[in-house]
Structure 1
Amino acid sequence: MPELHIEPLAEPLWPLLNKFYRRHDSSMKALKGGRLWVARDGEIVAGLCLTPVVGGQWLTGVFVDPAYRGQGLAARVIGAAVAGVEGTVWLLCHPDLEGLYRRMGFTQDTLLPQSLSERLVRYKRNKPMIAMGLITKGKVDLG
């Protein structure tokens, strides 16, 4: 894999992540109040958003350019983003992605904060979704 730059995205540059999502026909969006992380190979090739919730962080918008998939990039970006986080990192995803996140240490054996629990119920009305969590201690190695 080429040497990629993985870093937080400064707030004035947030529209670049939304542009990346749109370029790949993704409905994902950067959330206000979150912290955005990207991997760059000249331009953005992966991104995500971490938003504070009671007891930890909510991980959303994980997306890797199809040309960069299968190389562990999602794990590298998530690892960098959660490295300084204490508490639990939760995500809501399609069941087909369970194996990907399980390999990073996420499990379905997690207790969601009420705000995410309510969101999961709403999401499940329209599509299959599961919740997963990763307990962090400020140092995470997902790769």
Structure 2
Amino acid sequence: ALLFAAARADHVARTIRPALARGAWVLCDRFVDSSRAYQGGGGGITDADILMLHGFGSLGLLPDRTFLLTARAEEVGRRLAVRDADGADRMGSKPDDYQARLVRRFAEMAAAEPDRWRVIDAEAPAEAVTAAILTSLADWLP
């Protein structure tokens, strides 16, 4: 958790905050909520501790919008098998109970902050997933 927080703090200071200061959009595929799920829900570190590290290192910066892409465990397994035929996905190969804790934690966070989070059905065709994401950003697009 400390290493993730340190790397994130560096990324926030060197890349994200300067981009925001220029008025640019910033897209991240993982941010503090991933630590809250993986190191928290999956690894047992308290949410308060993770948020304290984030508050100290990244000054508590949070995204304006977070997308949770969902799919059934069977579908995720099928996609991982296709994508990672060599078994290189360390997180995807963790036990089912670990995966269930992650799913539960992400769902809890999304439910707790509905103004920030958008839950998207990732089993839909790629075009539909993209459309759902763009629709969720419509209030910010010209």
Q: Which has the higher helix share?
A: 2
The answer to whether TM tops 0.5 is no
TM-score (norm 2): 0.28
Higher-Rg structure is: 2
Q: Which has the higher strand share?
A: 1
Q: Highest relative contact order (Cα 8 Å, sep 6+), 1 or 2? A: 2
TM-score (norm 1): 0.28
